[in-house]
Amino acid sequence: MLLNSDRLTYYFTTLCEIDSPSRGESKLSCYLQDLFHDLGADIVFEDNSSLVTGSDCGNFVARFSGSRNDVDPVFFNCHLDVIKPCLGVKVRKINDIFYSSGDTVLGADDKAGIAILIEVIIAIVLANIPFVPVEFVFTTCEEIGLLGAKAFDPSLLVAKYGYSLDSTGIDNVIVGAPASYGISAEIHGLASHAGLRPQHGINAIQLAAHAVSRLPLGQIDSETTANIGLIAGGTATNIIPDYVRVAGEVRSHNLSKLFSTIDLFKNTFQDVVSSWRDPHNLITSRPSLVFAFPEQYPLMKLEAASLPVVRAQQAASCLSRSVRFIQAGGGSDANFFNACGLPTAILGIGMENVHSVSENIKLADMLRTAELVYSLLTC
């Protein structure tokens, strides 16, 4: 296996220092499309998902036909966008660990995954090693709601299973991830002057506080979490607020538990609003509630006999190593690929402290993941 750590370092550093915020991924996309053309991709094409996502480019696919017909075609997925602050990244390498300069994220999430794919395909092409047909799928707007994957047409792919390189840890193959639904509770009260006519107002924020205090939050059970993360309302300190919006989410590996928790949230807010009584008998109107729970991403659950699991086991065995098959608490593009009938596992690539300016990744961990991807393509 002729992987080259210096070459991997070069491409990872180059990718990190190309700005690619969500909805601004075109510069990175153009760089990668040109690169894969030069590396001999049979076809590189971009979809029209930008019409849906609002990005300045679409998702794109690079297809290599390979020379092996004894193994099913496979795809690998990474996202192009990076969470803020991500403009003007400068990479520092200290003792073979990559960091940013400290005022931006590094962008290992998910440019480490992209660099790994580049290194693997270069190593295979240069050594003229037979490999299975493969497609690289690069999505936009992952960090702002998995929008690129949500807008991707799975019929564009030849491969029927794949892997997303987008998680922490190493030698981890994620086979389960929760479904997630947003929570939005809008309470409409009645405005009034807080000093002159307080008895004529209905305080929407107070009602929301009563409801939130009754909600189960955090780790509800081994499969389910819930959170309230945003509260916004009111116009001034001397005005009783007539509006507040409370936003959060519920995640679960068990759909029954997920929907029962959502029902509990809805009923709690409705009970607080419906049970409001005017202590002064001065107000003829009543507070109201608008409750919504949009899907953020669907459930992901792979069976032991699925192709991503079986092939990961085979690839690890060829390397004389073992991998861990685990469940994760977050969502990724893989949730949508699975929902579209494309069994997809998530590979840990070693990035640490993601979504912070302390983000870092070890070169050794990137190489270890590259070895697994190499084995998946050649074993």
Residue 225 tokens, joined: 């979490």
| Same domain for 340 and 313 | yes
| Same domain for 20 and 134 | yes
| Same domain for 16 and 146 | yes
Nearest to 202 by CA among 211, 184, 190, 194: 190
| Same domain for 97 and 122 | yes
25, 119, 142, 143: which is the annotated catalytic residue?
A: 142
Q: Is 303 a catalytic residue?
A: no
Residue partners of 309: CB distance under 8 A and separation at least 6: 173, 175, 302, 303, 325, 345
Using the 3D structure, point to which of 271, 296, 321 is the last residue of a domain.
Answer: 296
Using the 3D structure, point to which of 249, 265, 296 is the last residue of a domain.
Answer: 296
According to the model, what pLDDT value does residue 372 have?
98
Strand partners, 336: none
Distance between CA atoms of residues 242 and 40, nearest Å: 62
Task: Please return the burial class of 34, using the count of CB atoms within 10 Å of its CB with bins 0-12, 13-18 and 19+.
Answer: exposed
pLDDT tier at 165, thresholds 50, 70, 90:
very high
Q: How many residues does the chain have?
A: 379
| Same domain for 17 and 119 | yes
| Same domain for 204 and 162 | no
| Same domain for 170 and 148 | yes
| Same domain for 201 and 173 | no
Q: Residue 150: which domain range? A: 5-178+299-378
CATH number for position 45: 3.40.630.10
According to the model, what pLDDT value does residue 69 have?
86
| Same domain for 256 and 266 | yes
CATH number for position 210: 3.30.70.360
- CA dihedral (255, 258, 262, 265) in degrees, to 10, reads 160
Distance between CA atoms of residues 280 and 286, nearest Å: 13
Q: What is the CA radius of gyration of the chain?
A: 24
25, 81, 186, 242: which is the annotated catalytic residue?
A: 81
In tens, the pLDDT along 216-254 reads 999 999 999 999 999 999 999 999 999 999 999 999 999
Residues 310, 140: contact at Cβ < 8 Å?
A: no
Q: Is the pLDDT of residue 376 over 70?
A: yes
Maximum CA extent, the chain: 84
Using the 3D structure, point to which of 248, 280, 296 is the last residue of a domain.
Answer: 296
In tens, the pLDDT along 327-341 reads 999 899 999 999 999
Instruction: Using a cut of 0.75, tell me whether the model's pTM lies above it.
Output: yes
**Tally of CB atoms within 10 A around 342:** 21
| Same domain for 184 and 173 | no
Q: What is the mean pLDDT of the chain?
A: 97
| Same domain for 184 and 273 | yes
Provide the edge-to-edge strand list for the sheet that holds 360-362.
91-94, 97-100, 360-362
Number of domains in the chain: 2
Distance between CA atoms of residues 308 and 74, nearest Å: 9
pLDDT tier at 2, thresholds 50, 70, 90:
confident
Distance, C-alpha 198 to centroid of its chain: 45
Distance between CA atoms of residues 264 and 223, nearest Å: 16
Q: Is 223 a catalytic residue?
A: no
Alpha helices per DSSP H over the chain? 5-16, 26-38, 50-53, 108-127, 147-150, 204-213, 255-274, 307-318, 333-339, 363-378
In tens, the pLDDT along 9-68 reads 999 999 999 999 999 999 999 999 999 999 999 999 999 999 999 999 999 999 999 989
Distance between CA atoms of residues 96 and 101, nearest Å: 15
According to the model, what pLDDT value does residue 190 have?
97
Collapsing DSSP to helix, strand or coil, 289 comes out as strand
Task: Please return the burial class of 300, using the count of CB atoms within 10 Å of its CB with bins 0-12, 13-18 and 19+.
Answer: buried
In tens, the pLDDT along 114-124 reads 999 999 999 99
**Tally of CB atoms within 10 A around 235:** 11
Residue 235 tokens, joined: 């116009």
In tens, the pLDDT along 63-89 reads 999 989 889 999 999 999 999 999 999
Backbone φ and ψ for 316, nearest 5 degrees, come out as -65, -40
In tens, the pLDDT along 118-160 reads 999 999 999 999 999 999 999 999 999 999 999 999 999 999 9
Distance, C-alpha 363 to centroid of its chain: 23
In tens, the pLDDT along 267-278 reads 999 999 999 999
Q: Is the pLDDT of residue 1 over 70?
A: no
How many CA atoms are closer than 13 Å to the CA of 247, on its beta-carbon side? 8
| Same domain for 144 and 186 | no
Helix, strand, coil percent values for the chain (each to nearest 5) = 35, 30, 40
